[in-house]
């Protein structure tokens, strides 16, 4: 894309190139959460992620409701060896950091 310059060959101000929204990277506010931050049951960003016996993370309240009536994995359908839920502190920290970065932007 070339610019037409007035006689003399210079301009005091260089215009910015307009970029259509489809070509711009999403802003932090528009950015979709990483898949690992989203509970597969609620399809929302988790606030209290826990790991189930199938090795997947879920929102605590959602997987507790699931396990109250089922003994299978919500993702694989396979039988779970146990119903122990382990808090995922690292995942929770990563989600909070991501949310904080979105609010700060």
pLDDT at residue 29 in the model: 52
pLDDT in tens, the chain (105 residues): 454 545 555 545 445 555 454 554 555 456 899 999 999 999 999 999 999 999 999 999 999 999 999 999 999 999 999 999 999 999 999 999 999 999 988
The dihedral sign for the CA sequence 56, 62, 98, 20: positive
Q: Are strands 57-59 and 86-87 parallel, antiparallel or unpaired?
A: unpaired
Q: From CA 96, how far away is CA 50, in angstroms rounded?
A: 15
Q: How far, in Å, CA of 33 to CA of 45, rounded?
A: 7
Are 14 and 30 in contact by the 8 Å Cβ rule? The answer is no
CATH topology of domain 33-104: Herpes Virus-1 (3.30.40)
Q: Are 88 and 48 in contact (CB under 8 A)?
A: no
39, 82 contact by CB (below 8 A): no
Q: What is the pLDDT, as a whole number, of residue 31?
A: 83
Domain ranges of the chain: 33-104
pTM: 0.71
Report pLDDT for 14: 46
């Amino acid at each position: 894309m070339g610019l037409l310059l007035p006689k003399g060959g210079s301009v005091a101000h260089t215009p910015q190139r307009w970029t259509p929204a489809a070509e711009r990277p999403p802003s932090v506010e528009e950015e979709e959460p990483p898949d690992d931050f989203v509970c597969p049951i609620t399809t929302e960003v988790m606030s209290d992620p826990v790991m189930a016996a199938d090795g997947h993370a879920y929102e605590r309240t959602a997987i507790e409701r699931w396990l109250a009536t089922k003994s299978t994995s919500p993702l694989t359908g396979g039988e779970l060896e146990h119903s122990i839920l382990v808090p995922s502190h690292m995942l929770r920290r990563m989600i909070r950091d991501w949310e904080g970065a979105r609010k700060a932007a």
